[in-house]
């Protein structure tokens, strides 16, 4: 399911509808670089985490919400109507490789009342075509015609917290492996 920017009325750009977590591909970062990037990400060192993938931060925007349903679509939105979240934090991160390629990463942290609800949410969001959470609206996205398709997607759950990350090209021709690695590392970021 491909969704295009223009969902500002609902609170931002739509994330694609789920996908598999990062896998080793022909391009992208080395396993060592990705693992050290994940370690930096877990410590909340966003810039260092991306730097380990060979990417430099261009822009970072974050916002926190008290409700989730207005910022979601599809079956995920319906899930939030039946099971309201406790909080939602979203971040939009633009990074570049120094060679004219830009990667845009969107991350959503959803805190549910119970771990079982978080498990159900992650299972739903990880399914293709089920909907997801909108990315933060940003002029950077609109100007570049950025689309999130779910092709470069990662998620994780920690108790009642679900983290969903997705990466896409923001310009140039970033390697698909780099996009996978960026999503995989961003899914490790702690709540801002």
Determine, yes or no, domain membership for 112.
Answer: yes
Determine, yes or no, domain membership for 74.
Answer: yes
Tokens for 5, please give them. 């920017």
Determine, yes or no, domain membership for 151.
Answer: yes
Question: 10 Å Cβ neighbour count for 114?
Answer: 12
pLDDT for the residue 4: 28
Chain centroid offset of residue 93 CA: 9
Number of independent structural domains in the chain:
1
pLDDT for the residue 176: 94
Determine, yes or no, domain membership for 12.
Answer: no
Q: SS3 letters for 85-137? A: CCEEEEEEEEEECCCCCEEEEEEEEEECCCHHHHHHHHHHHCCCCCEEEEECC
pLDDT for the residue 36: 81
pLDDT for the residue 32: 79
Tokens for 166, please give them. 């997705």
Please provide the size of the chain in residues: 192
Are 43 and 185 spatial neighbours (Cβ–Cβ below 8 Å)?
no
Determine, yes or no, domain membership for 101.
Answer: yes
Q: What is the pLDDT along the chain (192 residues), one digit of tens a residue?
A: 222 222 333 344 444 444 433 333 334 567 777 888 888 889 888 888 899 999 999 989 999 999 999 999 999 999 999 999 999 999 999 999 989 999 999 999 999 999 999 999 999 999 999 999 999 887 656 666 788 888 999 999 999 999 999 999 999 999 999 999 999 999 999 999
Are 103 and 96 spatial neighbours (Cβ–Cβ below 8 Å)?
yes
Determine, yes or no, domain membership for 83.
Answer: yes
Determine, yes or no, domain membership for 8.
Answer: no
Determine, yes or no, domain membership for 180.
Answer: yes
Domain range enclosing 124: 26-186
């Amino acid at each position: 399911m491909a969704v295009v920017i223009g969902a500002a009325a609902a609170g931002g750009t739509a994330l694609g509808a789920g996908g598999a977590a990062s896998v080793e591909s022909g391009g992208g970062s080395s396993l060592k670089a990705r693992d050290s990037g994940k370690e930096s990400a877990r410590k909340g060192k966003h810039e260092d985490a991306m730097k380990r993938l060979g990417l430099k931060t261009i822009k970072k925007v974050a916002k926190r919400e008290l409700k989730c349903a207005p910022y979601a679509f599809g079956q995920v939105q319906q899930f939030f109507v039946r099971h309201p979240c406790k909080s939602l934090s979203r971040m939009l991160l633009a990074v570049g490789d120094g060679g004219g390629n830009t990667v845009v990463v969107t991350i959503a942290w959803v805190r549910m009342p119970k771990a079982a609800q978080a498990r159900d949410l992650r299972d739903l969001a990880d399914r293709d075509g089920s909907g997801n959470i909108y990315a933060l609206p940003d002029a950077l996205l609109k100007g570049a015609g950025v689309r999130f398709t779910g092709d470069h997607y990662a998620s994780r759950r920690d108790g009642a917290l679900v983290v969903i990350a997705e990466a896409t090209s923001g310009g140039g021709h970033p390697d698909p492996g780099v996009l996978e690695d960026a999503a995989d590392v961003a899914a490790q970021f702690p709540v801002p």
